[in-house]
Amino acid sequence: MNTIPDRSEEFRALQDTLYFIGGKWRLPIISSLCNGNKRFKDIQRSIPGITTRMLSKELKDMELNKLIKRTVNDDSPILITYEPTSYSRTFGKIIQAMIDWGREHREVITEREIAKKV
């Protein structure tokens, strides 16, 4: 590439992504769905700390944003399942980079958290 890097354009792209990820639940939910969890209770169980209320709100927002597909099977009992769309799979690289970072810096973070509490 021969283009001169446009920093303000880079910043906009970075901020757009952060805005879209918005908060700490969206990526873990995508990750959970990509790992094969389909039902509300299974998704909730896989994400430490998420409340029913938060998961319910996020799933609704994510359906509106076409990140997930919600399917209602009209059998008895009614079964509701969630699936990741191909759009949500585009977060794969970001999620993997975050998992790698978290692994590499586990000790440093743990030290910081202890230091904060002391």
Q: Which spans of this chain sit near a second copy (rule: CB under 8 A)?
A: 7-8, 10-20, 24, 27-28, 31-32, 35, 46-49, 65, 87, 90-91, 93-95, 97-106, 108-109, 112
Neighbours of 40 (CB within 10 A): 15
User: In the complex, what is the shortest distance from the CB of residue 2 to a second copy, in angstroms, rounded to a whole number?
Assistant: 17
Q: How far apart are CA 65 and CA 106, in angstroms?
A: 32
* Beta carbon nearer to a second copy, 2 or 86: 86
User: In the complex, what is the shortest distance from the CB of residue 79 to a second copy, in angstroms, rounded to a whole number?
Assistant: 23
Tokens of 98: 């975050």
User: In the complex, what is the shortest distance from the CB of residue 25 to a second copy, in angstroms, rounded to a whole number?
Assistant: 9
* Beta carbon nearer to a second copy, 2 or 76: 2
User: In the complex, what is the shortest distance from the CB of residue 75 to a second copy, in angstroms, rounded to a whole number?
Assistant: 29
Tokens of 7: 């920093």
* Beta carbon nearer to a second copy, 72 or 115: 115
Cβ burial of 68 (10 Å; 0-12, 13-18, 19+) is: buried
Distances (CA, A) of 46 to 24, 28, 61, 76, 94: 14, 9, 19, 26, 19
* Beta carbon nearer to a second copy, 40 or 42: 42
